[in-house]
Amino acid sequence: MIKWPFLPKDAGLDIVKTEGAYLYTRQGQKILDAASGAIVNNIGYGREEVAEAIKEAALNNTYVLPPFLTPEREELLDELRNHWLPPHLTRVHLSSGGSEANESAVKLAIQYQASRGKPEKNLILTRTLSYHGTTLNMSGISGHAARKRGLESYVPAPITVETPYPLRCPLGSFHPEAKDYYLNNLKEVIERYGANHIAALLMEPINGSSGGAIYPPEGYWEEAQKILLDNDILLIADEVMTGFGRTGVDFSCNFYNLKPDILVAGKGMAGGYAAISGTYSTDEIAESILKAGFEVMFHTFAALPQSCAASSSVLKILRRENLCERVNPLGDQLKQKLISELGQHPLVAEIRGKGLLIGVEIVKEKEGLVSFDEKEKITNKIVGKGLENGVFFYPGGTGEYRDIICLGPAFIINDDDIDLMVSSLKKSLDHIKAKYL
């Protein structure tokens, strides 16, 4: 019997086909993918045009060393620079996934500081609730307890600032002084370690699945950016999950007028058609590192022509079909329906998110926001029940913060899909309520 080890035990599936926003199992079940895999797909599965672009690139330039230019790479650079990237982020470093791209971002930040004659400015701040990837370093510095269990003795300990979490702010839920509370924490951490020792803050402007689309109180990011600037600390925005239109804007930094020094994106960059991610930085950072003579090594499979072609094709489809313009209306519709059908459900603490990145936080008791015991594995049970009812939801949370259901479907869903997501989630929650409350 085949043992395929990387599937969550309660949600093992055998998928024989993906099409549009749907998965098809070997047993003949049709499942709506409310999570577009791991919040990856945006244009829908099975697009001939993208497959053709990949085929053409594979025939034309099967493998070319990453630092060399090819027409596929040039086309992607043009697409990114002319239509997607903030104008100040002119330098593109490609890799295969979000973890690699975040590693590159951290390396660039540290090399940049060293290139300016500040090698002691080498600490990376991260946030208490966050996910930046699965390499050893990213596992260590992410605020995701569950994904580093058994590794704690080896991976680097993170230096964290508190992730603004309005629902669970220590001052009280949605407390009017929450913004200042979290800004003070940022200032304190900088003071504790010394700005002259801190290279950068690595953060998700809106949390991905770690927090289930948590975003901070109004004004937080704008003021946090100022604090970082005043302290000569770089801002690295991890938009691996939120990038390329997922939250209703090109990058979620745009919500807050953030001007990151380095921006990281993956997932939606090729919608799952190829493994590609990008670390985007400024001329100043790149020139300083190059001038110092530091090497910026590539991964063997970085910028594969096939992956670049897939990405260009996906990004062009997003633009040609105005798919990003669908994200806000669809996201509002989905969120409103979730709120009207589930907002008063005894297990639902909050329904939040932007665009088509939505989190539903589940609690055992609303009063005091009491979570279910971790051993109950409520998230897995909800995801499992969802599958029985024809929908795949993405399990969010970090173990420590748990029972967060994420929705992040492709941008092509319709009214019926929205109804199905909401009714399936309601059935799952009613089941949990009947069995575990």
Ligand X SMILES: Cc1ncc(COP(=O)(O)O)c(C=O)c1O
- The verdict on 104 binding ligand X (CB under 6 A) reads no
- The verdict on 268 binding ligand X (CB under 6 A) reads no
Nearer Cβ to ligand X, position 272 or 305?
272
Kind and range of the H or E element at 298? none
Nearer Cβ to ligand X, position 240 or 349?
240
Whether the CB-CB separation of 118 and 194 falls below 8 Å is answered with no
What is the SS3 assignment for 78?
Answer: helix
What is the SS3 assignment for 242?
Answer: coil
Nearer Cβ to ligand X, position 166 or 266?
266
Stretch that binds ligand X, among 113-121, 190-198, 237-245, 370-378 (CB under 6 A): 237-245
Report the C-alpha gap between 35 and 112 in whole angstroms: 36
Q: Is the dihedral of CA 35, 39, 42, 44 positive or negative?
A: negative
Nearer Cβ to ligand X, position 264 or 317?
264
Q: Name the H helices within 116-156.
A: 136-141
What is the SS3 assignment for 224?
Answer: helix
Judged by CB under 6 A, which of 66, 133, 331, 384 binds ligand X?
Answer: 133
- The verdict on 278 binding ligand X (CB under 6 A) reads no
Phi, psi values for residue 324, rounded to 5°: -65, -30
- The verdict on 355 binding ligand X (CB under 6 A) reads no
Distances (CA, A) of 168 to 174, 184, 218, 353: 8, 17, 16, 15
Judged by CB under 6 A, which of 44, 158, 166, 208 binds ligand X?
Answer: 208
Report the C-alpha gap between 225 and 260 in whole angstroms: 9
- The verdict on 282 binding ligand X (CB under 6 A) reads no
| C-alpha 412 chain-centroid distance | 19
- The verdict on 98 binding ligand X (CB under 6 A) reads yes
- The verdict on 103 binding ligand X (CB under 6 A) reads no
Encoded one letter per residue, x for contact with ligand X by CB under 6 A and - for no contact, window 32-71 reads ------x---------------------------------
Stretch that binds ligand X, among 46-54, 129-137, 302-310, 356-364 (CB under 6 A): 129-137
Report the C-alpha gap between 279 and 103 in whole angstroms: 9
The residue nearest ligand X at its CB is 98
Report the C-alpha gap between 225 and 201 in whole angstroms: 10
CB of 431 to ligand X, least distance (A): 27
| C-alpha 378 chain-centroid distance | 22
Judged by CB under 6 A, which of 105, 178, 240, 407 binds ligand X?
Answer: 240
- The verdict on 131 binding ligand X (CB under 6 A) reads yes
Report the C-alpha gap between 72 and 304 in whole angstroms: 9
- The verdict on 212 binding ligand X (CB under 6 A) reads no
Report the C-alpha gap between 346 and 340 in whole angstroms: 13
- The verdict on 397 binding ligand X (CB under 6 A) reads no
- The verdict on 102 binding ligand X (CB under 6 A) reads yes
Distances (CA, A) of 108 to 92, 278, 285, 291: 12, 13, 8, 13
Stretch that binds ligand X, among 1-9, 92-100, 226-234, 412-420 (CB under 6 A): 92-100
Nearer Cβ to ligand X, position 18 or 242?
242
- The verdict on 238 binding ligand X (CB under 6 A) reads yes
Q: Which residues bind to ligand X, rule: CB under 6 A?
A: 38, 97-99, 102, 131-134, 204, 208, 238, 240-241, 266
